[in-house]
Amino acid sequence: MVREHSIESFYGKLRESALASASNTPLLIFPSTSDVDSLCALKIIGHVLESDSVRYACYPVSSFKEIHKYAGPSLSSLSDEPITILLINWGCHRDLKKVLEIGPVARVFVVDSHRPIHLHNLSHQNDRVVVLYTGDDENQADLSYDFDVSALAAASDLNSDDEIEEDDSDSEDENESDGDDDGGNGNRKKRRLSEDGETDPLKLFRKLKKEYYHMGTFHGKPSGCLMYELSHYLRKNTNELLWLACVSLTDQFVHERLTNERYQAGVMELEQHINSSGNLDTLTSVTLKDGTKICAPDSSRIAYEDEPRLMLLQEWNLFDSMLCSSYMATKLKTWSDNGTKKLMLLLAQMGFALDESKQKFRYMSVEIKRKMKDMFEHFLPDYGLNDFYYRGFLLLHGYSSKVSAADVVYGVTALLESSQSTGSCAFGEAYDALSLKKLEKLEMGMRHAIKIQRAILRQGSTAITRKGSIRSGSKFRWVKLEDSADTKLLGFPQALTKFGYFLMDALREKGAKMKPLICVCYTQGREKVLIVGVCGKPRLGAVQGNAFGIAFRNSAEEIGAEFFHEMFESSWIVLEAVAVNSFMIRLTEKLM
């Protein structure tokens, strides 16, 4: 049984399997190094496993094949020593059994927010792979299927070669192998599917399968939130874990991986958790040795508040944050003279002195901080900024520190994608920065995030203002980043994605028609390029997610260039720099 509907039984199985193999190897956890959500989920599940005394070893990975470096031969060999593996936030969109060459005694558990899930991973016949995919998650997804995914998965044939669905030419042999291999069981299910009118079950199956994969990629519920639900169910939840869940929801929000509606729903759910775990008592009294009672703030508590869409305020100053934050910068066009004038005018209208707002935010006058919200809400609509405030989370630590979940996401993502340290080392830094006791590491990350945001503003404004930098095709636009200093900062998937969203916002403000955008950025000293496809913020009821994955892979294969498509998001690909032009031509033909 491969699709697991309930978190509790998923964990139950994981624990059982880990304990069964504990006599020869610890549970192997492979978190993805690509996003903050995976870090949060790792920390939460780690806490749960620790309290159950399950020994584990955790190796951060950034591509599919890396796992073999750590897991050793027992993963795929025929030895009879069982091995249990947990993948966090990667893997379910590829056929894991095939891609990872899983042997008969290895068991792989997957917690992943990437969608769609490869049907083979969900199939009943594939009992080596267990994917956590709750019914709620299926029903509340941003893109909804009008058919039953489980039934479709059950009908899929494990031996078929449908890594990514293509045309119908190879369907004949698939037809035969279907009948031979699964026996009656598979056929019966197919018949059930066929009740919706289509007569030939195989044709219907193929049609639905195509529909399923061609919807493109999108994201399900953040893994961190799922894992928090687990800890809650097991009564092992703490405030610290709740904060991690808040951060992982905010991660999806900041990187535009979910619709506003689903974010709101997620926020409400977490707010309830926050209320029920006693975060509302703002002050607690402490009794000293001699009996005097004093009021002291709770050591740390989580609060939810309307937050301005200004980046990294705590580590920056109001003026620069307004100048550079994507939301405000694209609306006011702060890179132009006109835009800066508007910004100054806005500050003047609100009555904030310029030198005061250029003061580091922490030391800015308290009066301005107090008036800020009222003033913004009063004056911003005149400039067309209507949804400047959003519901966000804050972590208050005594009187001394206050940090917002969004800033944590920016800071930790910057640490994950900093050029000084790579892969697993950067993961370690980010892991430390997420713990509440090491604020200095987080501050370091935030300072790096500020550098990245400035680079986004620099490159974004050049691309917008210089004619011909953004090339436009019929189905998509594309832009190439060549500046040698800024490509060092932006040559990472998440940073480049942020850059892409910045450009799309700016183009929308210019009144351009909305089209998906492909960003190309030189990395590794101009020998390679990183290509990221961005499709715009997911909207409720959309029919298509990010459909670049399949097209990227096919185009790269067809032009015969060396490429690397093993990263955890199918809309990310690394190519040889010389092949970029032929790749783009091929891609344009494909997406006509």
Partner 1 sequence: MYGRKACQLVKELENSESGQLTGFNTDLFAQVIEQCDGHVNNLQALLRKMQEVGSENQTAKNADHFGALMHHLSLVRNKRCLMAYVYNRAEIVQTLGWTVDCVLPEEIEEKLSSSEREYFKNHSATLKSYMSDLDIDLALDMVPPKDPYIKVRVLEEIGTVVLSDQLANLARHAILFLRRTDAEQYIAQGKMEELTG
Residue 542, interface with partner 1 (CB under 8 A)? Answer: no
Q: Which residues contact 479 (CB under 8 A, 6 or more apart)?
A: 463, 469, 470, 471, 503, 517, 518, 519, 520
Alpha-carbon span 19 to 29, nearest angstrom: 14
Please say which residue, 47 or 190, places its beta carbon nearer to partner 1. Answer: 47
Residue 145, interface with partner 1 (CB under 8 A)? Answer: no
> Min. distance of Cβ 25 from partner 1 in angstroms?
5
Please say which residue, 78 or 543, places its beta carbon nearer to partner 1. Answer: 78
> Min. distance of Cβ 54 from partner 1 in angstroms?
8
Residue 90, interface with partner 1 (CB under 8 A)? Answer: no
Residue 11, interface with partner 1 (CB under 8 A)? Answer: no
Q: Which of 56, 147, 263, 564 binds partner 1 (CB under 8 A)?
A: 56
Q: Which of 338, 435, 465, 524 binds partner 1 (CB under 8 A)?
A: 435
Within 10 A of 324 (CB to CB), how many other CB atoms are there?
22
Q: Which of 69, 289, 293, 467 binds partner 1 (CB under 8 A)?
A: 69
> Min. distance of Cβ 331 from partner 1 in angstroms?
40
Contact 512, 502 (CB under 8 A): no
Q: Which of 8, 9, 55, 360 binds partner 1 (CB under 8 A)?
A: 55
Q: Residue 410, exposed/middle/buried by CB under 10 A (0-12, 13-18, 19+)?
A: buried
Please say which residue, 6 or 24, places its beta carbon nearer to partner 1. Answer: 24
Contact string (CB under 8 A) for partner 1, positions 13-52, x = contact: ---------xxxxx-------------------x--xx--
> Min. distance of Cβ 240 from partner 1 in angstroms?
8
Q: How many residues bind partner 1 (CB under 8 A)?
A: 29
Please say which residue, 52 or 589, places its beta carbon nearer to partner 1. Answer: 52
Alpha-carbon span 518 to 535, nearest angstrom: 9
| Runs of H (alpha helix) within 52-170 | 67-71, 96-99, 119-122, 135-139, 149-155
Please say which residue, 85 or 587, places its beta carbon nearer to partner 1. Answer: 85
3-state secondary structure of 380: helix
> Min. distance of Cβ 50 from partner 1 in angstroms?
6
> Min. distance of Cβ 342 from partner 1 in angstroms?
45
Please say which residue, 289 or 437, places its beta carbon nearer to partner 1. Answer: 437
Contact 411, 36 (CB under 8 A): no
Alpha-carbon span 3 to 153, nearest angstrom: 9
End-to-end, the C-alpha distance of the chain in Å comes to 41
> Min. distance of Cβ 491 from partner 1 in angstroms?
22
Contact string (CB under 8 A) for partner 1, positions 211-240, x = contact: ------------------------------
DSSP code string of 515-548? --EEEEEEETTTTEEEEEEE--S--TT-S--B-H
Residue 65, interface with partner 1 (CB under 8 A)? Answer: no
**Best CA proximity match to 563, nearest among 573, 571, 550:** 573
Residue 341, interface with partner 1 (CB under 8 A)? Answer: no
Alpha-carbon span 116 to 120, nearest angstrom: 11
**Where in 372-431 is the site for partner 1 (CB under 8 A)?**
424-425, 427-428, 431
> Min. distance of Cβ 316 from partner 1 in angstroms?
27
Please say which residue, 71 or 380, places its beta carbon nearer to partner 1. Answer: 71
Alpha-carbon span 207 to 204, nearest angstrom: 5
Dihedral of CA atoms 43, 44, 48, 54 in degrees, nearest 10, equals -30
Which residue is associated with the tokens 């040698």?
484
Contact 26, 56 (CB under 8 A): yes
Q: Residue 502, exposed/middle/buried by CB under 10 A (0-12, 13-18, 19+)?
A: buried
Q: Judging by DSSP bridges, how do beta strands 56-58 and 27-31 pair with one another? A: parallel
Residue 8, interface with partner 1 (CB under 8 A)? Answer: no
Dihedral of CA atoms 61, 459, 469, 517 in degrees, nearest 10, equals 40
Please say which residue, 59 or 390, places its beta carbon nearer to partner 1. Answer: 59
> Min. distance of Cβ 431 from partner 1 in angstroms?
7
> Min. distance of Cβ 428 from partner 1 in angstroms?
5
- Find residue 518's DSSP bridge partners: 478, 533
> Min. distance of Cβ 264 from partner 1 in angstroms?
32
Q: Which of 58, 328, 332, 573 binds partner 1 (CB under 8 A)?
A: 58
Please say which residue, 51 or 185, places its beta carbon nearer to partner 1. Answer: 51
Please say which residue, 17 or 121, places its beta carbon nearer to partner 1. Answer: 17
Judged by the rule CB under 8 A, the positions of this chain that interact with partner 1 are 22-26, 46, 49-50, 53-60, 69-72, 424-425, 427-428, 431, 435-438
